[in-house]
Structure 1
């Protein structure tokens, strides 16, 4: 296992440890909130999840307009690049796991790429975010990309309340 694989494994272990601690904190500290949440009932047969409420709102709007889950994921991803630029956006990459109506799965890998000969940790890769969103849209999207980008453009130009 080379140095970069060890670093990647350590990062993954750190992320998993943080996620476990967050889960434990949530389960222990949020008993009152859990009771409040259980009393809220929605009539939706679908939903989205994201780390920022504006991204959730825009993802739900796309679904309500007849868009599919990929359309909502694209809207949410671009929205997070605007409302949480420190954690998401055009300069990054990621992965998208898709399960279709027949139960078949597909994974789109749009992680950053770099030449294999790079051995300096100060270098960076080429972002894959935009290419990944474009690929997902061409293969699975149902709403024009220009429509999917409108919410993030709106908030980038007009601003939003920061919490």
Structure 2
């Protein structure tokens, strides 16, 4: 089942990055189905809301300090398609990424840092409307977010 979630996460991420708002409804449908079919829907929802809240706070800071900018978007709130990436990531943290829960914390930190750079680098190559001016703050944040997301996801969902 984790492989299926990995495929759904990857396709959803790519759809949001490439086509922005066009595929929000299928992605949100996947997130809702993920919650409904989880063993503990309430716990699953709490993890998704927690990680989304943390992510939005980080994104506000990144936008405020011009670390990330969106073309034709002058709001401190990220575009809706970008916000959808957080609950989508939270589903992955509770499914396909759970294989890393028992990995050493240093490995989790390095994985978060390295994978965030790759995701943002390739994401900005795919979507020319997103501009990352400074990768270091993103890498540092994800070095902490990734292990935190795994810690939150330790309980069965």
Greater RCO structure (CA 8 Å; 6+ sep) = 2
User: Fold-level match, TM-score > 0.5?
Assistant: no
What range is the shorter-chain TM-score in? under 0.3
Q: Which has the larger radius of gyration?
A: 1
TM-score, scaled to structure 1: 0.26
